[in-house]
């Protein structure tokens, strides 16, 4: 009888653990239908990326910090800097703090347009 009891208890425990479901919150990927794609991203060392930016006369325009779990109080986990040159070309550089061996850049964005704080389109002359 002891073996039968052990098997029955084991079966019930296995059944409970197998059927227990944990409702996870809906992720942004699910909520908004976001998908990972193949983007025109190039990666190299920080020195090489900086040399490229200098050679093509890109200057930093904006800098943002990505934080752990996408929470404002989270630890910094990456930075994104946008650079622009006089031809209004733009690149975005992604860097993980402390990791200088590989820095990635979204390779050249053209036809950049600018908006004011009210969301109104600015003409090219007003950005200069």
pLDDT digits (tens, 9 = 90+) for 69-91: 889 999 999 999 999 999 888 88
- pLDDT at position 70 is 87
- pLDDT at position 46 is 86
- Residue 24 in any domain: the answer is no
- Average pLDDT of span 89-117: 82
pTM: 0.62
Q: What is the CA radius of gyration of the chain?
A: 25
- Residue 48 in any domain: the answer is yes
State how far the Cα of 24 lies from the Cα of 128, in Å rounded to an integer.
Answer: 48
Task: Check pLDDT > 50 for residue 16.
Answer: no
State how far the Cα of 5 lies from the Cα of 50, in Å rounded to an integer.
Answer: 69
- Residue 12 in any domain: the answer is no
The parent domain of residue 122 ranges over: 34-127
- Average pLDDT of span 35-42: 73
- pLDDT at position 65 is 92
- Residue 26 in any domain: the answer is no
State how far the Cα of 70 lies from the Cα of 64, in Å rounded to an integer.
Answer: 12
């Amino acid at each position: 009888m002891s073996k039968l009891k052990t098997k029955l208890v084991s079966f019930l425990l296995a059944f409970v653990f197998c059927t227990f479901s944990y409702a996870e919150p809906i992720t942004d990927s699910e909520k908004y239908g976001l998908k990972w794609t193949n983007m025109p991203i190039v990666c190299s060392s920080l020195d090489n990326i900086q040399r490229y930016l200098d050679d093509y006369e890109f200057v930093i325009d904006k800098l943002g910090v990505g934080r752990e779990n996408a929470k404002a109080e989270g630890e910094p986990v990456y930075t994104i800097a946008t650079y622009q040159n006089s031809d209004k070309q733009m690149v975005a550089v992604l860097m993980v703090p402390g990791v200088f061996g590989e820095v990635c850049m979204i390779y050249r964005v053209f036809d950049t347009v600018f908006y004011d704080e009210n969301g109104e389109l600015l003409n090219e002359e007003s950005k200069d």
